[in-house]
Structure 1
Amino acid sequence: MLAAIGLDEKQESAYRALVALGAAEVGDLAHRLALPEPDTERALRRLEQHGLAAQSSARTGRWVAAPPGVALGALLNQQRHELEQAELAAALLAQEYRVESDEPAVHDLVEVVTGARAVAHRFVQLQLGATEEVCALVTGKPIAVTGMDNEAEEKAATRGVTYRVVIEREVLAPPDGITEVSAALGRDEQVRVVDRVPTKLVVADRVLAMVPLNRRGAEPAALVVHASGLLESLTGLFESVWRDAVPLRLGGRGEVSEQDSTGPDATDLEVLSLLLAGMTDAAVAKQLDLGLRTVQRRVKGLMELTGVSTRLQLGWHAYAKGWVARDLQERP
């Protein structure tokens, strides 16, 4: 938890123990932490550098914890200041980049990344840099990067980045494939399946895309495509595959199964009924014990399914299709 301010696990454990005790001898603290005394003393020295602990002036070898509210508050303020400076620098660099790239040369629109490690690193960067949406086509035989299992995806999803992923059916064959897809669905990601995808592809915020270069016998390589006609084509390719793919859903017992893409499922119908009854998205989410993003994602999916652009149109379509019933009783 305190890694953000530069403490490793041993140092954080030492500080927590010292806070609980108020003050302690090195030997007593080492025994409490089940660490050798030299390691404990090094941890205390590191805490001293951060202003989190100090040696007692009244008793040699005794260490005293600094008050967390004061000591940690100071460190957090320092971290915030450094982050603000970094954000400012990033904004200035981005502005400079935009000025320089108003009319980019053709060779600047495409980067060639070579080597498995470099490709994997760029793949992670695309996800960590996304702010709105990541779209991906996942093959059953990844080369430099895996399909669904990576920390960057979890971190991006936690920040509110939405994911739309189309996987080949082959991905579901091994047990770990089912596990990874289940984890993705559990994070409210949208996952669909097809027999084959045309290529592995990642599109971040519709401004960057990454597609592999398949070179037989050569080391892995990929193209990173910036805003251009080629990027629009790759985005269009994803949308085309997405429309024809079958949605996957997570059952009550955690099983992954395909759902009929021709109509809404039971949860969709519940969401529709409550919205048509006048409830807000937040109220629907609370009533059905769903996340707010889940409700909004389902409504968006229903609008895409019916080809409408407003919720009013969706309501009329739902009545026309018989998804929900009107209350035809006349009110007194």
Structure 2
Amino acid sequence: MLGAIGLDDAQEAAYRALVGLGAAEVVDLSHRLGRPDEETVGILRRLERHGLVAQSSAGSGRWVAAPPNVALGALLTQQRHGLEQAEMAAALLAQEYRAEAAEPSVHDLVEVVTGASAVTHRFAQLQLGAEKEVCALVTGSPMVVSGMENTAEERAVERGVRFRVVIEREVISGPNGIVEITAALSRDEEVRVVDRVPTKLVVADRSLAMVPLGRNSAGPAALVVHGSGLLDSLMSLFESVWREALPIRLDPDGAPEEESPDGPDAVDLRILSLLLAGLTDASAAKQLDLGLRTVQRRVKRLMELADVTTRLQLGWHAYERGWVARTPD
């Protein structure tokens, strides 16, 4: 808990123990911490340099804890000052970078990243550096990072970054496909599906993109594309795939499912046929091996599509629109 101000676990444990005791001999503190006396003395010396403990005037082997509100407050102030200095330095560096990037050399518009470690690091960096939006095309065969391993994505979402992701259908049937999609939807990411995406792609804030190059003797490789006509083309590619893809959402049972197109799909039509034949929602659900809430949700959506308020009206509109055929007299 106190690692943020520079204390390791051993130092924090020693300081907490000494705060609880007020003062203690090295022997007693060593016994409480389960460490040799020499190691405990070393820990106390380091805490002394932080101003958290001091040797008691009562004896050379006795140590006392400094008041936490005073000692820790001073360390927190130092830490804040250090962070402020780092923020100022980052802002200055960003300003210099923007000035240099105003008219970048054509050779600086594309980076080639090779090796699994380098590709993984750059992939995480791209997501963690995003401020507004990350767009991605995902295939069923990740190059170096699977969805389960992509912790940078979770951290970016927590900061309020919007994620728009198009997956190819193969991802759903993958080993962890349903788990990964459910987790993404639970984080309010927007996920859509198509039969196949043209390439793996990640774009951050429409200013930086990453596309794979496949593998070579050095391992996986990828291109990192900075602001340019090529980046604009990659973003246009994503948007065209996004428009054609079907949204995925969580059904009432918490499982991911594709949203239907503008009209009823084959499952909707089977549900309608069974209901018009006189079956109850529960019977239709059992007949089609669906959940009851799934059937009810689909019927509600069909009513919205038909712009009706009753199921009787829905049946009439279903015949009028040709969704189901009338039974011959």
Q: TM-score, normalised by structure 2?
A: 0.71
Q: Distance in 2 between the 1:173 and 1:155 partners?
A: 26
What letter matches 2:8 in structure 1?
A: D
- Which residue matches 1:190? 190
Q: Distance in 2 between the 1:168 and 1:34 partners?
A: 55
Deviations 1:183-222 (A, max 9, x none): 3323222222333221111111111111111246662111
- 1:214 aligns to what SS in structure 2? strand
Q: Distance in 1 between the 2:6 and 2:200 partners?
A: 38
- Which residue matches 1:102? 102
Q: Distance in 2 between the 1:185 and 1:208 partners?
A: 24
- Which residue matches 1:300? none
Q: Does 1:92 align with 2:96?
A: no
Q: Distance in 1 between the 2:258 and 2:153 partners?
A: 22
- 1:104 aligns to what SS in structure 2? coil
Task: Judge conservation of contact 1:139–1:147 (CA < 8 Å) in 2.
Answer: no
Q: Distance in 1 between the 2:35 and 2:160 partners?
A: 40
Deviations 1:41-96 (A, max 9, x none): 44333322222222323243333222222222222221221222222222222222
- Which residue matches 2:156? 156
What letter matches 2:6 in structure 1?
A: G
Q: Does 1:142 align with 2:142?
A: yes
Q: Distance in 2 between the 1:26 and 1:262 partners?
A: 75
Task: Judge conservation of contact 2:135–2:204 (CA < 8 Å) in 1.
Answer: yes
- Which residue matches 1:46? 46
Q: Distance in 1 between the 2:105 and 2:49 partners?
A: 49
Equivalent residues in 2 for 1:127-276, closer than 5 Å: 127-147=127-147, 149-215=149-215, 219-251=219-251, 254-260=254-260, 262=262
- Which residue matches 2:291? none
Q: Structure 2: where are the runs of 5+ without partners?
A: 264-303, 310-329
Return closer, same or farther for 1:111/1:57 CA change in 2, 3 Å cut-off. Answer: same
Query: Greater CA radius of gyration, 1 or 2?
Result: 2
- 1:212 aligns to what SS in structure 2? strand
Q: Distance in 1 between the 2:205 and 2:308 partners?
A: 33
Deviations 1:111-167 (A, max 9, x none): 111111111111111112111111112222112233453232222222222222222
What letter matches 1:185 in structure 2?
A: L
Return closer, same or farther for 1:28/1:147 CA change in 2, 3 Å cut-off. Answer: same
- 1:220 aligns to what SS in structure 2? strand
What letter matches 1:142 in structure 2?
A: P
Cα RMSD after superposing both structures: 2.9
Return closer, same or farther for 1:22/1:236 CA change in 2, 3 Å cut-off. Answer: farther
How many residue pairs get matched? 270
Return closer, same or farther for 1:241/1:68 CA change in 2, 3 Å cut-off. Answer: farther
> CA shift at 1:40, angstroms?
4.2
Return closer, same or farther for 1:26/1:225 CA change in 2, 3 Å cut-off. Answer: same
> CA shift at 1:38, angstroms?
4.8
